[in-house]
Amino acid sequence: MSIKQLKDINKDYLNQTIELVVLLSEVKVKTTKADKRYAEITIQDASKMTEAKYWDYEENEAMIKNFKSHEIIRVKLQIGEYQGQLQLTIKEIKKAEDDSITIKNFIPTSSVEYESMEKGLKYFYDRVEAPHLKELLDKMIFCKEYYEKFCTYVAAKKVHHNFYHGLLQHTLEVLKFVNTVANTKKLSQKQIDRLIVMTMLHDWGKMMEYKALPDTGLTEEGIMIGHIFLGAHYTLSKIEEIQDFNIEDKLVVLNGILGHHGSLEFGSPVLPKSIEAQILHQADKMSGDIESILSFMNEDTDEDEAFTKKLWNMGTEYYKK
Ligand SMILES: [Fe+2]
Ligand SMILES: [Fe+2]
């Protein structure tokens, strides 16, 4: 098998040099103990984002600095090993000269079909009966200003759903989970309305917390304020524009958004105080945890090992056989 994508690189190819077209996402200049400058370059394609060392940085500094951010480049990579981990070293780097390749080719995209996700979102919107709650969704998602953004944004920086349409996929997944609980526990229509609305809005603030792809990482608003407060703040300001929005629904929906991380140490300023909010929190946690385990196992290409390495957010390794 030849290597076509970054995710194909594994220990079978040790000491080989391969050539790939990738997107350059970040250059970090560092200094060795011998005072020589080198670069740690983050490269990505649709399959994976990874780092490679570039020891010849000093000699080629001008060329690297000339690259625009998100330049499409052709690299020769040597596949090596350092302390038991694969290490990539850039042997040659240059601008890719193929105009038919665009940045979109290098952005990881949700594997779920977009149209079916849109339909799913509409299905849950239709299940909401109370007009004032529907109006809130109209103002925050189903409108010109936010709909496209909501449907294309990432849901996380690393860990889970960090791809094009990630926020939509994650939101939909949580909607399906909460819906199962709502049906099994026979919640009332009033509770179902509130649950769907708070679920759709729970991570809405991520559209402001994260930069838009292909940029990755947090915005200044994200670092200073975070998606929990941002989501609650915008929700409150939209609620105030809606006539006849009752105080009980307002409190329950806002508490659901503010409490969805479930505990103060995970960034929620208040605990979930309604049954709807607790269901949302548990469903949200399940969606994030399961996705992070699955993608971690997918990235693990070491077939000799029975277990993955330890997944930091879960505190354990996973059995692969
Ligand atoms: Fe969240
Ligand atoms: Fe979430």
* Span 21-35, average pLDDT: 91
* 83 vs 126: which has the higher pLDDT: 126
For residue 214, say if its preceding peptide bond is cis, omega within 30 degrees of 0.
yes
Nearest in space to 151 (alpha carbons), one of 139, 134, 163: 163
Where does residue 226 fall: left (phi above 0), alpha (psi -120 to 50 degrees), or beta otherwise?
Answer: left
Nearest ligand to the C-alpha atom of residue 167? 2
How many Å lie between the centroid of ligand 1 and the Cα of residue 250?
A: 19
The CA 260 to ligand 2 mean position distance, Å, reads 8
Residues lining ion ligand 2 (Cβ < 5 A) are: 203, 284
319 alpha carbon – ligand 1 mean position (Å): 28
pLDDT tens-digit series, residues 223-253: 999 999 999 999 999 999 999 999 999 999 9
Distance from the CA of 144 to the center of ligand 2, in angstroms?
23
Q: What is the mean pLDDT of residues 63-72?
A: 86
Q: State the pLDDT at residue 159.
A: 45
Q: pLDDT tens, 285-313? A: 999 999 889 988 887 777 788 999 999 99
State the distance from the centre of ligand 2 to the C-alpha of 211, rounded, in angstroms. 17
Q: Where are the domains of the chain?
A: 6-105, 107-297
* Distance between Cα 60 and ligand 1 center (Å): 42
Place of tokens 């703040």: 233
pLDDT digits (tens, 9 = 90+) for 250-288: 999 999 999 999 999 999 999 999 999 999 999 999 999
- Residue 162's pLDDT band, with cuts at 50, 70 and 90, is low
Residue 286 CA to ligand 1 center (angstroms) comes to 12
107 or 227: whose pLDDT is higher? 227
Mean pLDDT of the chain: 91
CA torsion sign, 113 to 256 to 287 to 227? positive
List Cβ neighbours of 24 (8 Å cut-off, separation of 6 or more). Answer: 41, 42, 43, 67, 70, 71, 72, 73
CA of 186 to the centre of ligand 2 (A): 24
Let me know if 293 is exposed, middle or buried by CB neighbors in 10 A (0-12, 13-18, 19+): middle
Number of Cβ atoms within 10 Å of the Cβ of 163 = 19
d(CA 120, ligand 2 centre) in Å? 17
Domain 6-105 belongs to what topology?
OB fold (Dihydrolipoamide Acetyltransferase, E2P) (2.40.50)
Ligand nearest to the CA of 173: 2
CA 313 / ligand 1 centre spacing (Å): 15
Ligand 2 geometric centre to CA of 292 (Å): 13
- Ligand that lies nearest to the alpha carbon of residue 268, given by its number in the listed order: 1
Fold of the CATH domain 107-297: Hypothetical protein af1432 (1.10.3210)
How far apart, in whole angstroms, are the C-alpha atoms of residue 58 and residue 160? 36
Torsion angle (degrees, nearest 10) of CA 115, 219, 49, 152: 10
Give residue 203 CA to ligand 1 midpoint distance, Å: 5
On whether the CB atoms of residues 3 and 18 are closer than 8 A, the answer is yes
Gap from CA of 26 to ligand 1 centroid (Å): 26
Say if residue 73's pLDDT is above 90: yes
Centroid of ligand 2 to alpha carbon of 170 (angstroms): 7
